[in-house]
Structure 1
């Protein structure tokens, strides 16, 4: 069975985009280097390939000379920064309720992470590990996620609390010991998983809620996340990657294979095993996206063509006629303006 391609929601990288703006760095250049269209950032709930998101973060840290970037961004990121998923988590009953929910539903936010709550005597560990099939180093992404969970624990912790232990998968970074909040923390590197140790008693503490959140809204948020979640199979996750890449023109198979963490030949072999071809899959994704856009009468045909990666709208019209026998405008009049 072919592995699925990990994806993550856009809101996961937005703190890093904001950081670029604050320091006056060339945001567009870094996004281009990671092959992330800036228009993809318009909706924080959009999906992007985790591989490209990690490339963006790692390149940013390297070129801006910020060795502790993942740590710094993680310490500044709150539940609210994770959009709809963060809102669900923020309204958990207790820390135990929150972490058990994350264990079960992290795939709604990203299909590239695994999170586990482990209890050992009077201690508890929240453990995080990335599941990326590429050779890219994940130092900053892992630090970012670990510090995010540290912030979650701080919601119910005593003001002076420090973790007894923190484990990192990454190699040793001495600068962590200069951060005041970890001055009394035992930090271990090159571990099997990223993890934070905290008192088991914290798990039963209540999370304070400052905004109303009805059950109807909770169910609405759950449904939205489930419908738009990263796919956990090879064909559908490939389709999600293709839809993300469409704005940049016809997605090259070499790039999609790279994102999938395999050679072009292996990628084609996996497609063939599913009874698919790359060209046909691109056409299917373009057609499905076109139909979605045509249902919105406020989106012009020329705008749809650009969204689907056609520089010349006439090429989109010809392709749509090849798929349906009619023009996009005729399709809209027949099926969408009821």
Structure 2
């Protein structure tokens, strides 16, 4: 059985990482180059990124800033309501308990796969844990701390902006230093757990939205592409191909590497699904081309370059193959409609 592909997440889950790094003397541009990821993930938070690549990016960001607790500090700067439509939808729930129920129900469909949220009661305390079902280890603890930061912010929507958990449980080795993390989280730290979690008074589950944390009334989900199911090879590959397109014409070796597999293995799996990488790329490029021709005033030359073609003639030939008409004729017809 072929190993499964990497889980995925929205670029929005990185929070304000660009400004955060700049404030600490780092360079997000340098880190993105090092990770071979497009700068577009900072400008288009709806883009889908392989989860393993987010792990790596956080690890390189920690090295770039010289901060071994980078993920934990970034996690204290994030806001759940900015975490795509998912975060806004979760924090519109009536009570914290309802919000956590929404988070569990919507996470894999709206924001991130390969991730499991669990809540359990331990006497008077509630424990909210998060587990990443990914084999990658590089940068994993940074992503775990970032996720705990989002969980804490959701609780603060209901408990107030100055709330802190009673206990933060980490998956770091039991002998790891606790003081640096206690300073960051302003909470008691316990290491050596199977999965990271936060503990707090269970009575908070009934709290309604804190007045200082009221959410805007409108949630716009129209700009967000759907999150592909973990088992959907075609949709997952197409989503990462969309990411590759931000840097030029998509290459199978780049897409395969980001998904944690090889070009040959990915091509084989696509063949089993009745398609090829070339056909999949054609579908992605065709959708983008039609959208740009309909909805933007960009010239055909600019659209060709944006889609990774060396000149408009190559783009025009490809567009005729996809649609049976030229880009200019398609635009004219779309404008008339």
TM-score bracket for the superposition, by shorter chain length: 0.7 to 0.9
- Counterpart position of 1:170: 172
- Counterpart position of 1:73: 74
| Secondary structure of the corresponding residue to residue 285 of structure 1 | helix
Q: CA deviation at 1:73?
A: 0.7
For residues 335 and 182 of structure 1, the distance between their equivalents in structure 2, rounded to whole angstroms, comes to 54
For residues 148 and 247 of structure 2, the distance between their equivalents in structure 1, rounded to whole angstroms, comes to 33
Q: 1:198 to 1:47 in 2, by over 3 A?
A: same
Superimposed CA distance per residue, residues 280-314 of structure 1 (whole angstroms, 9 cap, x where no aligned partner): 21112111221122221423323322332224333
Superimposed CA distance per residue, residues 123-177 of structure 1 (whole angstroms, 9 cap, x where no aligned partner): 2111111233545341111111112212332344488865343222234541545
Q: Is the 8 A contact 1:305 1:311 kept in 2?
A: yes
Q: Is the 8 A contact 1:34 1:55 kept in 2?
A: yes
1:185 aligns with 2:188: yes
Q: Is the 8 A contact 1:16 1:57 kept in 2?
A: no
Superimposed CA distance per residue, residues 28-79 of structure 1 (whole angstroms, 9 cap, x where no aligned partner): 2211222222234322223222232222211110232100111111112122
Q: CA deviation at 1:319?
A: 1.5
Q: 1:292 to 1:78 in 2, by over 3 A?
A: same
- The count of aligned residue pairs is 331
Q: Is the 8 A contact 2:121 2:127 kept in 1?
A: yes
Q: Is the 8 A contact 1:5 1:260 kept in 2?
A: yes
Q: 1:246 to 1:305 in 2, by over 3 A?
A: same
Trace 1:6-17 onto structure 2 (pairs within 5 A): 6-17=7-18
- Return the TM-score normalized by structure 2: 0.87
Q: Is the 8 A contact 2:170 2:189 kept in 1?
A: no
Superimposed CA distance per residue, residues 158-206 of structure 1 (whole angstroms, 9 cap, x where no aligned partner): 88865343222234541545634756624122x2211111111110011
| Secondary structure of the corresponding residue to residue 105 of structure 2 | helix
- Counterpart position of 2:239: 240
| Secondary structure of the corresponding residue to residue 116 of structure 1 | strand
Q: 1:149 to 1:14 in 2, by over 3 A?
A: closer
- Counterpart position of 1:120: 122
Structure 2, unpaired ranges of 5+: none
Relative to structure 2, which stretch is displaced further, 149-158 or 321-330?
149-158
Q: Is the 8 A contact 2:72 2:181 kept in 1?
A: no
For residues 211 and 85 of structure 2, the distance between their equivalents in structure 1, rounded to whole angstroms, comes to 16
Q: CA deviation at 1:243?
A: 0.9
| Secondary structure of the corresponding residue to residue 209 of structure 2 | coil
Q: Is the 8 A contact 1:162 1:185 kept in 2?
A: no
Q: Is the 8 A contact 1:176 1:182 kept in 2?
A: no
Q: 1:224 to 1:64 in 2, by over 3 A?
A: same
For residues 305 and 173 of structure 2, the distance between their equivalents in structure 1, rounded to whole angstroms, comes to 44
For residues 283 and 262 of structure 2, the distance between their equivalents in structure 1, rounded to whole angstroms, comes to 23
Q: 1:159 to 1:333 in 2, by over 3 A?
A: closer
- Counterpart position of 2:319: 320
